[in-house]
Amino acid sequence: MAFDLQGWMQPHLLRVEQALSGGIDPAAPAGLGDAMRYAVLDGGKRLRPLLVLAAAEATGAPTLAAALRAACAVELIHAYSLVHDDMPCMDNDVLRRGKPTVHVQFGQAQALLAGDALQALAFELLTPLDGSVPPAVQAACVGLLARASGYWGMAGGQAIDLASVGGQLSEDQLRQMHRLKTGALLLCSVQMGVACGAVISEQTRAAFNRFGEVLGLAFQVVDDILDVTADSATLGKTAGKDAAADKPTYVALMGLQAAQRYADELAGEAMQALADTGLPPEQLTALQGLASMVVQRNH
């Protein structure tokens, strides 16, 4: 019987949404909680949280308590990066997930603070005070998320992106930019899930890392394809933006058809990496399904 990805996703998405909503205090000072909730709730595919949960289940996490916190944390980091990325001094975008961006809705100063506070909240969620997550797991997840978010991760990738607008990047440079800007957080999602699971061999860990890296690359290639082929309503953000801004993309570099073939190749590599973990196939079905979804998505 084929794996029912939607059937797996539905209860997991529900738990993520509930945890995110319960995790952001609406009473935070001076409307800051409202701006943060606006940035995070009622939108987003929650791909990163689902990867955390699927990886934790694949590696036999005893409960999802720690993984659910990691799932929310990585989504808060993702959400804050979108808030700051949309600001006038960065991409100056007014539409996100079909809604006005945070700075349009709440003003630039509040958007800046909401992004800052979302980053802090991610690390707060990873370090509960109630003893529900072992300190070693807390420390491991913080270490992974901080590195994936920082200057040798997402923020560094965005700096390269900024510096490259209108310029020419080689395929290697483009790959480096995306490995940091988008890939690091996707890889980190898999790694945090694994950190919440049972002890595994170094070979299994390496295979999961490979899976996370390839998935991150595939995600970006598909993103570049969608920027050209989808419309704004489907994307929930401004389509054709990268092309208009003369940003380097895989489509610009290799053409649309070759980019599509490349995405399919990467999907195959991701499946192979999962097989290389050596874990029983029935434990890997959710991760397989999510990887397929990344390549086949239309928004």
Query: Could you list the residues that contact a second copy (CB under 8 A)?
Result: 25, 28-33, 36, 80-81, 84, 87, 89-90, 107-110, 112-113, 115-117, 119-124, 126-129, 135-136, 138-140, 142-143, 145-147, 149-153, 155-160, 162-164, 180
Which amino acid belongs to residue 97?
Answer: R
Q: How far is the CB of 298 from a second copy (least distance, A)?
A: 30
**Residue from 148, 274, 279 nearest 215 by CA:** 274
Q: Which is nearer to a second copy, 8 or 208 (CB)?
A: 208
Q: With both helix axes pointing from N to C terminus, report the angle between 47-58 and 184-196 in degrees, rounded to the nearest 10.
A: 30
Q: Which is nearer to a second copy, 88 or 268 (CB)?
A: 88
Q: Which is nearer to a second copy, 152 or 170 (CB)?
A: 152
Q: How far is the CB of 193 from a second copy (least distance, A)?
A: 18
Q: Which is nearer to a second copy, 51 or 180 (CB)?
A: 180
Q: Which is nearer to a second copy, 57 or 75 (CB)?
A: 75
E strands of the chain, at which residues? 95-96, 99-100
Q: How far is the CB of 257 from a second copy (least distance, A)?
A: 31
β pairing state of 99-100 and 95-96: antiparallel
Q: Integer distance in angstroms from the first to the last C-alpha of the chain?
A: 28
Q: How far is the CB of 219 from a second copy (least distance, A)?
A: 20
CA torsion through residues 39, 41, 43, 47, sign: positive
Position of tokens 């957080």? 185
